[in-house]
Structures are given as C-alpha cells and as structure tokens.
Chains A and B, each alone.
Chain A
C-alpha cells in the first residue's frame, strides 16, 4: 500500500446538518453519532460475579448499585435459613433501561463460598464456571456458521467481599484472589465498612494493599494494562483507594430533608452515597460510570485471549505450527 499522506481536513466550524452548507466540512465525525445509535439499538451486556462469605451484604450491595432488586437475599426475613453445603453458582439476568440505554445485567451469586469448615479448593467451582463461560464463547466463535452477535456470558468483573476484621487478609482471601486475578478482573471491597472507624479503615486498607503486593496479586485496574500516561494517572488514583470500603442499603431514610439511601442506627444514619461516610460512590463510579467499557475490554481482549491461547494449545503441541502451516499451505 502506498505510504500514508497526512492532509489535514480543516476542522469543522459547526457540526449541525448541512442545511447551512460549509464547504470545508466533510462529516467524518458523524460516525460517532452513528456508533452511538448502533450501541443504543443493540444494548449492552454486563456480567458481575459477587464472591464472599454469607452475611457480608453482597445482595444488598448489588441492589444498591443498580437501584433495583437484582439480587435476592439468600437468607430471607421469614427465617428460612439455608446455608448451602457446597458452593452453588446462581446466575440471574435482568433487563434494565435508563434514558434509552438498555442493559442486560447478569448477577452471578456464589452462596456457600467460604462457609464450610474446610474451605479447601472452594475457588474451584468458581474458576470452572468462569472458564466454562469462556469456553462457551470460544465454541461459538470458532463455529463455521455463527451468530451475528455472539451472546456474551463471560464474567466481566468479580467483586470480592473482604470481611471487616481490621487486621489483614485471611489466607482464604489471598488464595482466592491470587488464583482468580489471573482469569478475571477482581475488584476487592471491604464489606460492612460501617463497623470500622476511619483510622481502622485506613490501616486495614494499607495492610490489604501490602498483602496484595506481597503476594503478587494484581487486582483491577491492573498496572500492566494501562494504555497511556493519562490512563495511568487515573488508575493510580484508583489504586490508591482500593479496596473500597462500602456500605450497602436499599432502604431510604429522611436526612436533612432529603430522602437518601442509608442505614439508620441509634447513633446516626450512615448515608450510602456520601463519600465522607463510605466509598460506595467511588465503587459505583468506577464500575458503572467510567470504567465499565474498560472492564469489558480487558475481559475480552486479555483474559479471554489468554484462555483461548491456552485452550488452542492444549492436546496439540504443534497447534501453532498447524494453524500457520496449513493456512499457508492452502494459500500456495
């Protein structure tokens, strides 16, 4: 192909439709509008997995994040106590819509995690589930006759709930996060953070960050996937704040004349969306408002690709040569 010439189209002075004719305006930036239209028509998919011991407020947090009952609590108020004997994976999908943007949200719950006496290998069913989703996508992708839009059931983000002990990470936490940070984006949060004072919270966070660093666990946003300096700057700020200390609530209370989500206690009302009280707002902004696309991209272009490489190399030590060889041999 010839070497690229870089002629500059003179920048558009206005961007409205050409009823007023501007001779220097071509209209290339209309593609943004076209993309937006296409995206709104197609809708989005998001799959979040919540992992943590029972009673840490996972379902409540999900409900708070998405402001609707997307997750049913495993222990109902009627007293039906049911702690599963093994880890189950429950995946429930919801269609939510906001301002014309439709999203298919799938919340994957893992009741029974960390609840047994012997918790060895409790991460295995979860890893298997995640890999199964990758496998499903891969199978669809290598089909000869494949669908227009491959349904994406891959786990985009895994929120790991750390119990608010105030000391440091437990061995279970370390083991789990170490294994899973290699296959999925992990966002660790400190659950029920209203039991920690601010000093305890800071100390706990620092300790957790040290533990993560010491064990080589790379949680989202991963350092190695920063694209440019701007990204790095934004992500550094986030990395200094993880794990987020969150409080979840789906009940509203009257505070200062406004109805806010919060937890009412005898000594005060904790406002969920107040950043002076807890870091829920940061988590929500990270997950939904700013980094959702980035999370999905890292899942599809890095974690999924790694799985694909591994899978296509299995049982076939020369698969690489085969793929290249016989594709080239067919070209000859």
Chain B
C-alpha cells in the first residue's frame, strides 16, 4: 500500500535515475534503526478478560519474567484498570512495556457498564497524545507513548460460543484498538472441541461485524506466515511459569496427573504462534496501525466534535484560527460573566460581614455602658453604706462618752475625799 504510494509519487514528480556507483545511502535503514535503538521502544498491551482466566500468568510466560504480585480477588465493585510499566532489555534493545489489566471484569452482577472503564482508558491515552500534539511547544520525539497498541481479549474456554459480554465489549473496542482474541486456559478443551469452538467464535465475530486485528499480508517477507496465522485466530493458549523436566530439558509446562501440557509445544497449544505474531513479527505493525488508523480516527472525531472543520481547502490555518478566536471570545465572555458574578458575590459578602461586625461592635459598647453603670451603682451603694456606718460609729462614740461622763459623775459624788487624797498623792508623786 505504501509502496504503491511512493511509486505513484515517484511517477508524478520524479524520474528514476540509475546510479553509476556506490553512493552509500543504503545505510539509511541502519541509521534509522540506530536512532530508534538509542531512543528505546515502548509497547502497551491491554489485557481484557474475566478474573481468573490466566491473564497475568500469560504475560509472565510471554515475556519470560515475573511481573506482578498476587492474583486479584473476585469481589471488586466495578471494573478498574491497573497498569504497570516495566523496562525489559534484550541484547541492545530496550523496551518499555506497559501492561494494563482489567480488574474485576465480568465479576459484577450487572455487567452492562463493564466496557465503559476500558473505553474511557483507551480514550484517555489518545487524548493525552492529542493534547501533546496540539501543544504549541511540544516534545513529540521524546514523548512516552501510552496509547494501547494491542488488546488481548481473553475468551473463557466454555467450548460453546462467545458470551454476550464478550461480544458487546469487543464491538465497542474494535474501532479503538487492535483486538487479538485469545482462548484462555485452552487445556480445558479437547482438540476436536477446539476446532469447533474456533469456527464458532470466528463466525460469531463476523456476523456481529467485529473487526479483529488481521496480521498484515502486504509485505512479501511475512505475507505467507501472517496469512497462515490469520487462519489460526483466535489462538488457544496455555500459560505457565513453572518448569517441568521432560526428557532431559526443563520446559514450561502444566503438570496434571494424566499428563503434562507443554506451553511451547505447538501440538499442545498456540502459545508459540501468539508470541511469534505478537512480538517477533508484528510489533511494529501493531504500533503503526494504532497510530495511523485508530489514533487518526479518534483525532478526527475529537476535532470535529470540538467544532473544527476543514471548510475550504485554501484557508485551513485560518479556519482553525477563526474557530479558536470565536471559541476564545465565547470563553472570555463566560469568564467575564463569572468574574462579575464572583465580584458581586464578594461585595455582598463583604457588606454582610461589615454589618455583622458593626452590630457586634454596638453590642459590645452597650455592654460596656451597662457594666459601667452597674459599677457606679455599686460604688454609690458602698459609699452610702460607709456613710451610715460612720454615722453609727459617731453615735456610738457619743453614747460612750456620755456614758463615761455619767459614770465619772457618779463616782465623784460617792467618794470625793478619796479623790482628794488620791489627787494629793498623785501630785506629790509627781513632784
């Protein structure tokens, strides 16, 4: 597709010119690859499926490491998305792998809204990228891409058909992300049942118009393998991180009393095919599809929704500007109105507070006056009391002096001689 585009462009403006010697630009792919290597890659996988289908185990098996901790419980109130980022390195390639797990998917009694958190999450990642792209000062080349590149949809191994929850969720997700359906825990299905199951699933997907990711068949080097793999979808996988000794090798397997299911044995399950397709052959294509198809669709819808249009072919930046201007004026108008409202409210509040304070002040004054009056009253009372006391005291003194006088008179009348003798004695003593 892109090859014909280039050829067409070539036909339009360029002429093919033969080279008469070695120029050296065949090193261009190497330069490009080197730059990407120094930059690092990022890949984001979203695992959607009911709790207990072996999502975490499969991820561990796929990337050969132990990622997360404990398996999740079944009593989650709603669907949540937990994402974890890991840095893997193999030879000189650094991969920033982000795995997003749906926690609690399919556990609720009412599953109508189960798909919503997932769709929201995907949209949020697109939105973040769109915002970065629309910024004036942007750093796109060093931006950590969080958009979901692949969605592994885990189908429960019932052996019959897809559940309605699966159909609904996949229908909602197929225009937003590359969906790769997987039959989980496929060691529970026998081989004959498996073929019937796969056929049933694919026919149901087709009849419901669900677009799952098709491996690209336009590049000759991988067309063949991709087209055969397309026929094997959905992959029936078994995941295991435990190693079992078979013969003289340690292989990843699940051991049962009746036998051992080897994960990497193509006769036992399609794990090798999944790994081949997801990681070794089509990782770059998955990223490209996400960017050129799903992200562009999202961007187009979002911008049209915001009111931007490519009206005439010769005033694009201006229509963007005009819409910006119009929106900006609208927004400024709203802002101003809000400001006015706030200001008025503020003034009102201030007034209220002022009056409150004034009242309080008045009260205080009154109280003070009252208290002062009380104080004065008390003082007066006290003064009065003191005065009366003084009067009484004076009275008492007078009475006492009167009483004394009377007593001394009485004594004088009774013994005036003794008084004289006393007087002389006193006088002589005195001299």
Question: Which residue numbers of A lie inside 8 Å of B, CB to CB?
Answer: 1-2, 4-12, 15, 18, 21, 23-32, 34-44, 46, 65-70, 93-104, 106, 138-139, 142-146, 148-149, 151, 261, 284-285, 288-294, 297, 301, 305, 308-309, 311-313, 315-316, 318-320, 322-327, 329-331
Contact = CB atoms under 8 A, between A and B. Distances in A.
Interface of B: 2-3, 5-6, 9-10, 13-37, 41, 62-67, 82-93, 95-96, 98, 127, 131, 134-138, 140-141, 219, 221-222, 250-252, 264, 272, 275-276, 279-285, 288, 292, 296, 299-300, 303-304, 306, 308-310, 316-317, 320-321, 324-325, 327-328, 331
A31 B284 contact: yes
B301 to A, nearest CB: 9
A320 B135 CA distance: 8
Contacts of B67: 5, 7
Dominant SS among interface residues on chain A: mixed
Nearest to B41: A31
29 contacts: A2-B82, A7-B86, A18-B272, A21-B264, A23-B264, A27-B275, A28-B41, A32-B36, A37-B221, A38-B284, A41-B3, A42-B6, A65-B23, A66-B17, A67-B20, A67-B23, A70-B17, A95-B14, A96-B16, A96-B23, A106-B14, A138-B317, A144-B310, A285-B24, A288-B25, A292-B31, A309-B136, A319-B136, A320-B136
Given A41-B2, A316-B325, A323-B136, A35 B86 contact: no
Contact of A68 (B10, B19, B250, B324): B19
Is chain B's interface secondary structure helix, strand, loop, or mixed overall? helix
B5 to A, nearest CB: 7
A288 to B, nearest CB: 5
Contacts of A285: 24
A293 B33 CA distance: 10
Contacts of B62: 26
Contact of B84 (A5, A24, A70): A5
Contacts of B131: 327
Give me the 10 closest cross-chain CB pairs, A-B, nearest first: A93-B14, A34-B284, A293-B31, A27-B280, A99-B26, A30-B280, A67-B21, A7-B65, A289-B24, A29-B93
Given A31-B93, A31-B95, 16 more contacts: A1-B84, A4-B87, A15-B91, A35-B33, A41-B2, A46-B25, A67-B19, A68-B17, A95-B15, A96-B23, A99-B26, A292-B25, A312-B136, A315-B321, A322-B327, A326-B324
Given A35-B284, A313-B136, A66 B23 contact: yes
Contacts of B30: 36
B373 to A, nearest CB: 61
A4 B36 CA distance: 21
Given A35-B36, A309-B136, A329-B331, A139 B316 contact: yes
A189 B31 CA distance: 24
A70 B16 CA distance: 10
A93 B138 CA distance: 31
A9 B65 contact: yes
A28 B328 contact: no
Contacts of B275: 26-27
A329 to B, nearest CB: 7
Contacts of B96: 4
Contact of B28 (A6, A28, A68, A103): A103
B293 to A, nearest CB: 9
B28 A101 contact: yes
Contacts of B25: 44, 46, 96, 98, 101, 103, 288-289, 292
A30 B85 contact: no
Contacts of B37: 32
